[in-house]
Amino acid sequence: MMIKIILVDDHAVVRAGFRLLLTEALPNIEIVAEADQGEQAIQLYQIHQPDIIIMDLSMPGIGGLEAIKRIIQRDESAKILVFSVHDEQVYVHRALNAGAKGYITKNSAPEIMPEAIDNILQGKTYVEQGLFKKNSGQTSTHDYQKIINDFSEREFDIFRLLAKGLTAHKISDELCLGYKTVANYVTQVKKKMYVSSVAELAHIAIILGVMKH
């Protein structure tokens, strides 16, 4: 029986790589559709009802995390494998909490993806080895982690982009949101994190592994 797959990544060359890797490793697969953003992935899922979706996280528009959440709201049995450049624990937790059944990184060995797909289709959860690391044990870190876990997907995106040094105007362009909307989110995020500056947000992001030094 053919395994129907949807590939979701905003880079065509990456999707081409997915396709080549999968057709060589799994002869019984059919790539039924490809998407370059989350909104499109949700529509294509409704149309094709694939056996599994392979989804990037960092994309224009609503992004991968919100797309996962919305697909799961429509079909809680949906099987989604995240394939992301992010290897930080916070991303893994957020993806699994949103409803993904697996998480692998773009630095993983080629054989990992077929193995992950096979596990997920069997009803298991698959997380690439080494992605779950021990917590540092600092109370303040746990407190910040809890706040971030409670962020909406949009708040998390804003927090991440602020910590990377993007201005509200640049975030507005990146996420296709109005400047006033972004400014409101920035205020919200700072208030929830009990900080007054972007530098403090960046420091917290580094502590939690949301971004590297």
Examine the pLDDT at 66 and tell me if it is beyond 80. yes
Question: Which two structure tokens, joined as six digits, stand for 211?
Answer: 């971004």
Length of the chain: 213
Q: Count Cα atoms within 13 angstroms, Cβ side, for 45.
A: 27
Confidence of residue 141 (pLDDT cuts 50, 70, 90): low
Please say whether the beta carbons of 185 and 209 come within 8 A.
no
Quick: pLDDT tens for 187-196: 999 888 878 7
The angle formed by the CA atoms of residues 19, 82 and 63, to the nearest 5 degrees, is 100
Q: What is the mean pLDDT of the chain?
A: 85
Looking at domain 3-127, its CATH superfamily turns out to be Response regulator (3.40.50.2300)
Q: Which fold has domain 139-208?
A: Arc Repressor Mutant, subunit A (1.10.10)
From residue 27, alpha-carbon distances to 30, 82, 118 in Å are: 9, 21, 13
Give domain limits for the chain. 3-127, 139-208
Q: What percent of the chain stands above pLDDT 70?
A: 93
Examine the pLDDT at 127 and tell me if it is beyond 60. yes
Exposed / middle / buried, residue 17 (Cβ in 10 Å: 0-12, 13-18, 19+) = middle
Residue 158: how many CB atoms within 10 A of its CB? 28
Examine the pLDDT at 138 and tell me if it is beyond 70. no
Quick: pLDDT tens for 32-62: 999 998 899 999 999 999 999 999 998 888 8
Quick: pLDDT tens for 79-92: 999 999 888 777 88
From residue 196, alpha-carbon distances to 2, 19, 74, 104, 201 in Å are: 54, 46, 38, 35, 9
